[in-house]
Structure 1
Amino acid sequence: MPKSKHMLPFHDHPLYIFDDDQSWLCYICSTNEKRGLVYICMECELVTHKECVEPFLNNPFQCNHFLKFFTGSPFKSENQHCHFCRKNLSSLYARCTICNTSMDVDCLKNPPPLTIFQPKHHEHSLTLLSRLVTFTCNACGLEGDRNPYVCLACNMMLHKDCIDLPRVISINRHDHRISHTFHLGQGERDWECGVCRKTIDWVYGAYKCSRCPHYAVHSKCATRNEVWDGIELEDVPDEEEEIEDPYKVVNEKDIIHFSHENHILRLDESCVTDKRCEGCVLPFNGDPCYRCVECDFILHKTCASLPRKKRHLLHNHKLTLLVDEVTFQCRACKINSNGFSSVSEPFCHDLHPHPLYWTLEGSKECHACDTETKNPLCCTVCDDYALCMRCTTLPRKVKHRCDDHLLSLSQGVGNASGDLWCDVCECKVIASECYYTCQECGVSLDIDCVLGDFYYLKVGLIGPGLEVLANNGVTRPLCSGCEVRCKFPFLARDTTTQEPVCYFCNINCLHYH
């Protein structure tokens, strides 16, 4: 039974004090421990231990005002989020009716400190201004509308999250370390962020490189999980990493590449061969290459020059170039391969006049295949232009059995009637998407019909009991999966069965056989 009825300033309804053997779930400490007296509101079911609520009953909050407790959802006229952590208010929350601010129980029990002494890289103490106030953070240059930490000595205002920004870091977009500064300074030209490619306001803080005079990154862009590995490098010696060259120079035309160390490779300025590159597994089509003088090993000149270790925009740790002939699926473009390939910024594509960047802007529609893709390569000039990683890495020129000439990657060009038809599958080609065409004969082909699933795999064994073959025989084999003649330039064969021979035209047919 209740001992007495009270009207207390921390709640608008009458509260009853209970003291019996029943366990009550306290809204403040979230336990049902028996701690003596409890306050209970019969109207809104508020239940709190007397000892849990007394600190707020007898002492004003940080804003020097007494708080009131409410249950349920806030009124529509009130802010629906906690003043400090910005989470949605629910169940129980406290409110200062004078400051017009609300906070959840977690922030009520553990409010941000009023003063921070010796912050990470600022010489003065910082004081919390617990108010709704519009300001621009001096550390990151972004606007805020509440609770800045203020330096009374130099009038700086900081977001709480920016107080402990790392001083020195490495990011996957730059080869050197970058350091945080509270004042980027005016340069000879506008500062452009090395991640999002947007302008940085030089009045505020950012990260900059001490070696590259024009390289800087927004504070928030530099510390994103996709960009920074989370390691603070202040007071860590900046030792020059020993750069391991991919090849040794023998003379003007000969090299010894680390992937083929037993033989010498010789430069051919215009490579004409049916073989494909041992590195990227793509054809040469007259590109410069290095040929082995003793065997049939061959590399694109650009593939031979790829560094053995590299920072890459798709991962926030340094990557190592491996030459193990293991079949893998690329995490970015989802293509199966047993070679290697790379995309770096700025990326210049034949079908677009401006360079493309990995700006991490979220999901966009790929301009080449019309599919929604997460974090594509984007154009900073044309807001709506983006390419997914698969379309970015499509070969620009290919050879196909349906035409004697090289086929070129094309987009947005139709014939007089505006209709295009694939010469392989005889289906309509969507001119607004990427496709292959012959500039001399006018034939057009779907991307999938030209490449198929095994185009990026080397001919030969790719795993236990499975090999890739060129589909260049007099007749096309019958696929054991879909039971249709294989139309793609490369197919797979099951080497564990001799009779009947099992061929597969794509990955689906192979997996579901």
Structure 2
Amino acid sequence: MKIDQKEISHPTHPQHRLKLEYTEIPFNCDGCKEAGIGLKYKCEDCELDLHKACAVAPPVITHPFYKKCEFQFHHRPPGTVMRICDACGNDILGFVYHCKQCDFDLHPCCANLPQVLNDGQHNLYLCFKLSSSCHRCGGKGPGWSYRSECKNYNLHVSCVKELLVESWQAMYLNVDQNKAREIQTRIPRLRGTLQNHPTRARGVKVSRCSQIAGAAVRVIVSAILGDPTAIISAALSGFMSSK
């Protein structure tokens, strides 16, 4: 299966073919059950959506963070015990990469997160664990994170996902239904990311951190939602406010 195919068949949905399309409206992937935006494969008959990373997932992958592991792709979590993604800490509810030998699990989109992201001015590096506090939660807890090149800005992958969920819930729960169509054309702002940070990065003013964060979050979110190859400028233009 070629990853650039405009139309594919998928073993979990053999009755219809799936077409590749681009969307700026957030969707829930019917494969991994995680949020998505950007490129996806869609069944127009059944309203089924799959991340591109889920729809064309290789059967076996390796990852630089787990040099001794070989991850097999599964349509369902293996075993009977609830499994957790070792990258973001979220529950595994659908498609998953699983290492039988080491018992590690990764969401397909987490497994595909780029090791280096460029926000146009700075490089952001994917890290296995934090050496300094996350600018969202203020902690150094487990889970992957992106760190700025200057090492002053850190953000857990899990914290970005939490921000997305919180923002989308607020948007859909608190808005007049007549405005739903307008709101669906953009991702809500993620206000307060740095304002909620309990500490200030050493030697770096909060305003400067905010400038870095504004560009960084746009790139990180693009990668987490399954489309790491492009910055979704129209959807993310107002993603974060430094005010």
- TM-score between the two structures when normalised by the length of structure 1: 0.27
What is the CA–CA distance in structure 1 between the aligned matches of 2:71 and 2:154, rounded to whole Å?
25
Q: Is the 8 A contact 1:345 1:358 kept in 2?
A: no
Q: Is the 8 A contact 1:411 1:432 kept in 2?
A: no
The residue number in structure 2 matching 1:301 is 52
User: Displacement of 1:256 after TM fit?
Assistant: 1.2
Selected match of 2:124 from 346, 355, 379: 355
Q: How does 1:365-444 map to 2 (within 5 A)?
A: 365-374=133-142, 376-377=144-145, 379=147, 381-394=149-162, 398=168, 399-403=171-175, 404=180, 405=183, 406-411=187-192, 430=196
What is the CA–CA distance in structure 2 between the aligned matches of 1:410 and 1:387, rounded to whole Å?
15
Query: What is the identity, as a one-letter code, of the residue corresponding to 2:123?
Result: H
The residue number in structure 1 matching 2:10 is 257
The residue number in structure 1 matching 2:220 is none
User: In the TM superposition, what whole-angstrom CA distance separates every residue of 1:38-67 from its partner, at most 9, and x where no partner exists?
Assistant: xxxxxxxxxxxxxxxxxxxxxxxxxxxxxx
User: Displacement of 1:313 after TM fit?
Assistant: 3.4
Q: Is the 8 A contact 2:77 2:92 kept in 1?
A: no
What is the CA–CA distance in structure 1 between the aligned matches of 2:156 and 2:33, rounded to whole Å?
20
User: Displacement of 1:359 after TM fit?
Assistant: 6.2
SS of the residue aligned with 2:151? coil
The residue number in structure 2 matching 1:333 is 88
Closer, same or farther: CA 254–359 of 1 in aligned 2, 3 Å:
closer
User: Displacement of 1:272 after TM fit?
Assistant: 5.1
User: Displacement of 1:314 after TM fit?
Assistant: 3.8
User: Displacement of 1:378 after TM fit?
Assistant: 5.2
Q: Is the 8 A contact 1:263 1:294 kept in 2?
A: yes
User: Displacement of 1:254 after TM fit?
Assistant: 1.5
What is the CA–CA distance in structure 1 between the aligned matches of 2:118 and 2:92, rounded to whole Å?
22
Q: Which runs of 5+ in 1 are unaligned?
A: 1-244, 415-429, 434-513
Closer, same or farther: CA 387–413 of 1 in aligned 2, 3 Å:
closer
The residue number in structure 2 matching 1:281 is 33
What is the CA–CA distance in structure 2 between the aligned matches of 1:349 and 1:333, rounded to whole Å?
21
User: Displacement of 1:408 after TM fit?
Assistant: 2.8
Query: What is the identity, as a one-letter code, of the residue corresponding to 2:134?
Result: C
User: Displacement of 1:356 after TM fit?
Assistant: 1.5
The residue number in structure 2 matching 1:267 is 20
Closer, same or farther: CA 280–409 of 1 in aligned 2, 3 Å:
farther
Deviates more, 1:256-265 or 1:394-403: 394-403
User: In the TM superposition, what whole-angstrom CA distance separates every residue of 1:371-413 from its partner, at most 9, and x where no partner exists?
Assistant: 1225753536213333334125456573531235342334556
SS of the residue aligned with 1:400? helix
More helix by share: 2
Closer, same or farther: CA 376–269 of 1 in aligned 2, 3 Å:
closer
What is the CA–CA distance in structure 2 between the aligned matches of 1:374 and 1:271, rounded to whole Å?
31
Query: What is the identity, as a one-letter code, of the residue corresponding to 1:304?
Result: A
The residue number in structure 2 matching 1:345 is 114
SS of the residue aligned with 2:47? coil
The residue number in structure 2 matching 1:312 is 63
User: In the TM superposition, what whole-angstrom CA distance separates every residue of 1:198-256 from its partner, at most 9, and x where no partner exists?
Assistant: xxxxxxxxxxxxxxxxxxxxxxxxxxxxxxxxxxxxxxxxxxxxxxx4x698xx63111
Closer, same or farther: CA 302–330 of 1 in aligned 2, 3 Å:
closer
Query: What is the identity, as a one-letter code, of the residue corresponding to 2:91?
Result: N
The residue number in structure 2 matching 1:323 is 75
Query: What is the identity, as a one-letter code, of the residue corresponding to 1:331?
Result: D
User: In the TM superposition, what whole-angstrom CA distance separates every residue of 1:444-494 from its partner, at most 9, and x where no partner exists?
Assistant: xxxxxxxxxxxxxxxxxxxxxxxxxxxxxxxxxxxxxxxxxxxxxxxxxxx
Closer, same or farther: CA 364–272 of 1 in aligned 2, 3 Å:
closer
User: Displacement of 1:320 after TM fit?
Assistant: 1.6
User: Displacement of 1:338 after TM fit?
Assistant: 0.5
Q: How does 1:224-263 map to 2 (within 5 A)?
A: 245=1, 253-263=6-16
What is the CA–CA distance in structure 1 between the aligned matches of 2:31 and 2:66, rounded to whole Å?
21
What is the CA–CA distance in structure 1 between the aligned matches of 2:46 and 2:3, rounded to whole Å?
19
SS of the residue aligned with 1:348? strand
Q: Is the 8 A contact 2:40 2:51 kept in 1?
A: yes
Query: What is the identity, as a one-letter code, of the residue corresponding to 2:189?
Result: S
Q: Is the 8 A contact 1:357 1:378 kept in 2?
A: yes
Closer, same or farther: CA 308–409 of 1 in aligned 2, 3 Å:
farther
Moved over 6 A (4+): none
SS of the residue aligned with 1:328? coil
What is the CA–CA distance in structure 1 between the aligned matches of 2:128 and 2:58, rounded to whole Å?
24
Q: How does 1:193-208 map to 2 (within 5 A)?
A: none
What is the CA–CA distance in structure 2 between the aligned matches of 1:313 and 1:307, rounded to whole Å?
16
- TM-score between the two structures when normalised by the length of structure 2: 0.52
Query: What is the identity, as a one-letter code, of the residue corresponding to 2:126?
Result: Y
Percent sequence identity over aligned pairs? 20
Query: What is the identity, as a one-letter code, of the residue corresponding to 2:188?
Result: L
Q: Is the 8 A contact 1:364 1:373 kept in 2?
A: no
Q: Which runs of 5+ in 2 are unaligned?
A: 95-106, 200-243
Q: Give the aligned length.
A: 167
